[in-house]
Amino acid sequence: MTTNNLAGKNIVIIGGTAGIGLAAAQAAAAAGANVWAAGRSEAHIEEAKKLANGTFEVRQADTHDAESLEKIFKEVGTIDHLVSAAIGGDRTLKPFLEQTEDEFKAAYGKLWGYSKAVRTGAPYMAENGSITLVSGSPARKIRPAQSALSCVGASVENLVRCLAVEMAPVRVNVVSPGTVDTAMFDWMGAEKEEKLKGMTGTHLIKRAGTADEVAQGILFVMANNFATGTTIDVDGGRILS
């Protein structure tokens, strides 16, 4: 396998101040890359700064705000690898016919945010650079009450294939996580561990994944010069179960 070294590369991670994006920022910085992690939440930004401890840059940006994105891109100059892991939308988890049209549309904020990050970042991309987006296993493993989540994820994965064709030689890939133990599930409170066990009991790997494990998938597609238009599943076998 031919890979490029991430050391010294300029990497921007939108949605990089929490969860999977933060784990990717930490892993890329540990590999010697120059990393800019951007997020919207002040609380996440402050926590990311503490964890970074000077090893990577932390900035504030909203995936729907081209001006805040471009400010970071201009600071970086040439982007070797652009990652967007920002959620970007409100997802309603209930049957399609019980959702309002506005609730269903709101989930597509993720797709529009990704689109804005790519459009704004494209002029700054290195010719041999890469773009990586994050979808999710519901894009292809459908369960009841996940129509919005599934449709948006599928749209992201198809957008990546379109962009890979149109933006070559810039490589474009997507990483698809399964059930991952992040702050997204903190609303479960003291029952979080038990509920995650229940959610993953039928998976081939019977546990929730970690943000670090998904981050390794992101680093793989950044580093592998022969990967483009590819969906990398890091889901514990969820789509096969």
Domain boundaries, the chain: 10-234
The two beta strands, 171-177 and 231-234, are parallel
What are 134-183's pLDDT values in tens digits? Answer: 999 999 999 999 999 999 999 999 999 999 999 999 999 999 999 898 76
What are 86-134's pLDDT values in tens digits? Answer: 989 998 999 999 999 999 999 999 999 999 999 999 999 999 999 999 9
Specify the residue for token string 């133990």.
181
- Return the percentage of the chain with pLDDT > 70, whole number: 97
Q: What pLDDT score does 4 carry? A: 64
Q: Measured between alpha carbons, how far is 199 from 186 in angstroms, rounded to an integer?
A: 14
111 neighbors 87 (Cβ within 8 angstroms): no
Pick from 186, 200, 196: nearest CA to 236: 200
Preceding peptide of 138 cis, ω within 30°: no
- Return the percentage of the chain with pLDDT > 90, whole number: 85
The pTM of the full predicted model, rounded to 2 decimals, is: 0.94
Q: Is the pLDDT of residue 1 over 50?
A: no
108 neighbors 89 (Cβ within 8 angstroms): yes
C-alpha dist (Å) from residue 227 to 5, 73, 218: 15, 24, 11
Q: Measured between alpha carbons, how far is 122 from 124 in angstroms, rounded to an integer?
A: 5
The per-residue pLDDT of the chain, averaged, comes to: 94
3: helix, strand or coil: strand
Architecture of domain 10-234: 3-Layer(aba) Sandwich (3.40)
What are 46-59's pLDDT values in tens digits? Answer: 999 999 999 999 99
Specify the residue for token string 């590999």.
31
Across the chain, the runs of DSSP E, i.e. the strands, are 10-14, 34-39, 57-60, 79-84, 125-134, 171-177, 231-234
Dihedral sign, Cα of residue 21, residue 168, residue 64, residue 179 = negative
Torsion of CA 30, 43, 189, 106, to 10 degrees: -100
- The DSSP H or E segment spanning 23 is helix 19-30
